[in-house]
Amino acid sequence: MSIAIVTGGASGIGRAIATALVARGDTVVVTDIDGEGAQKVADRLNGLGRGRAASAALDVTDADAVSDVYKGVKAEYGSLDLVFNNAGIAIGGLAEELTLDHWNRAIDVNLKGVVHGVHAAYPIMLDQRSGHIVNTASLAGLVPMPIGIPYTATKHAVVGLSLALRAEAAARGVKVSVVCPSFVDTPLLTNVNPGLPETAMSGNAKDDIKKASPRLYTAEKLARDIMRGVERNRALIVAPAHGRAAWRGARLSPGGAVRAAQWAVRRLTG
């Protein structure tokens, strides 16, 4: 049985990860800025009759709050085995539409939120000489995704952070993986730029996104991929198959990947 923390666990990928963990018998602390939503998920998971779930309201942009929750879990349960730094925000719009508020919000949540989770979890795991940090990035962290450049930039940063930390941590008993899914059917697609100046992609962008990527993956299938990748200690967990194909294509032909992104721009703005 593992002791796990999942950020952004009230919905979408985070909820699916927490469900998969409890289903296999783990103890999971579901955290989210929506504390009530996190509590509802934990209550539902406790009805599965396998693992256990608790919840905590957590804003991942607050480094002290993240540290307090992670240290509190270690103190209460005696270990911290798995951390899923998953909380994120969707930022969309053409470059000329974006304000510094869009950029700063993406950096604060998508990048610094992961930094805060790593900064809190890594010392605990070093002391234990065990543990696994799993950071959620995106296929947008591996290929050039336009019409949401702040999102793309932060996800590239999370990939780089994770792979470099993996290299440092390997000899010290700590594992690090990064999750890079293609478009997943989650509430993020219907809540783009929340609380930020509007762009053409603000609000419900699901139909627009499906023009460029009609095959949306489910969070539940992704959670299975993630669990399998964690069990195998994969450095990069890229899913689904068409996402892996896009990643390989970008590695083989960066220019071709940019041309594919140009096609997506035409589909979305034409």
Supply the residues annotated as catalytic. Answer: 151
Phi-psi region of 25 (alpha: psi -120 to 50; beta: other; left: phi over 0): left
Round to whole Å and give the CA distance between 118 and 108. Answer: 14
Using DSSP's 3-state secondary structure scheme, residue 270 falls into coil
Beta-carbon contacts of residue 107 (< 8 Å; ≥ 6 apart): 150, 154
Compute the half-sphere exposure of residue 127: CA atoms within 13 Å on the CB side of its CA: 10
C-alpha torsion angle, residues 245, 209, 100, 107 (rounded to 10): -50
**Residue 178: enclosing H or E segment and its boundaries?**
strand 175-181
